[in-house]
Structure 1
Amino acid sequence: MSDGTNYMKYGVVGVMVLGIGLVAWRNFGPSDESARSAQIVAPPQLSAAASLGKKGYDDNCAQCHGGNAAGTDKGPPLVHAYYNPGHHGDEAFYMAVARGVRQHHWRFGNMPPQPQVTQGQAQMIIAYVREVQVANGITYQPH
């Protein structure tokens, strides 16, 4: 074989190894949920509704959406500009709880309905999420 052919083989193998490494790192690399949670500022004081909402959030939402709504490898952060009230109003959250949501902004798959969460609980959870958003500079932005 000529030197040119060897270089080409090594180049192809190198690109394949790099690609496999990147896929493995993305899928099996360290989780940075704690780092994301640490970056989210908790409000200094929650309203009464948001305090109850935090309990409901922790019991029903945090497993996928993370502590302080910072996101996990299972679900997106709710403290993100996508979820500002001008883009995803409160009604979008109510519908997500009742009907689930098809994947659209993120690659986490579809969110299933959460029938164990009542509309009243959802209202308090939304109050909690909105207060955490405001504490992190996420406010109404027209869509």
Structure 2
Amino acid sequence: MDKNLRIGIAVLALVGFGALIYSSNSKQARQIAASATQAPATQASAVGRAIVEVKVPEFEGKAVLGQLAYVAKCASCHGENAVGQVGVAPPLVHKIYEPSHHGDMAFVMAAKNGVRSHHWTFGNMPPVDGITDAEVGTIIAYVRTLQRANGIY
């Protein structure tokens, strides 16, 4: 068999394998998101309940201020201690929001500009009215502290 043909077949096989893995991971993420965001039709009372359970650490420094800002600006949708709410908004203490996937700037942009729904099926997040850069900075410190306490780095 010609060397170029073998290389071409190998490249196609790798691309196909990569597409299969990507498709599988995307499907799994959509299934997790769908199950977490939709209350069963028979349990309408589940709407608003926590999506995840979290360990709540002692907060220090900037995270203490962040907890106050979070309660004032974010908790009505994302739930107490960022656990999310069934049918309302996703948990921020979740692998999807780990720093390597959603860096701090993603939180800044979401708070300031809103964000299009892309991991969850809750719909788009509107901008947070009247939030300051300083508040967002403290909220990030608070959320990252919660994430670390729950094994999300």
Indicate the percent of aligned positions where both proteins have the same amino acid.
Answer: 46
Deviations 1:83-118 (A, max 9, x none): 000000000000001110000000100000113110
The two structures have a TM-score, normalised by structure 1, of: 0.74
RMSD, matched Cα: 1.8
Could you tell me which of 139, 143, 147 is aligned with 1:125?
Answer: 139
Among residues 46, 50, 66, which one is paired with 2:59 in the alignment?
A: 46
* 2:80 alignment counterpart: 67
SS at 1:47's partner residue?
coil
Give the count of matched residue pairs: 114
| Deviating 4+ runs (over 4 angstroms) | none
C-alpha contact 2:66 2:138 (8 A) present in aligned 1 = yes
Q: Who wins on radius of gyration, i.e. which is larger?
A: 1
Q: Distance in 1 between matches of 2:74 and 2:45?
A: 24
- For residues 88-107 of structure 1, the aligned pairs below 5 Å read 88-107=102-121
Does 2:39 correspond to 1:55?
A: no
**Which residues of structure 2 form unaligned runs of 5+?**
1-38
- Counterpart-to-counterpart distance in 2, 1:105 and 1:127: 22
Deviations 1:63-86 (A, max 9, x none): 110111000031000000000000
Give structure 1 stretches of 5+ with no counterpart.
1-21
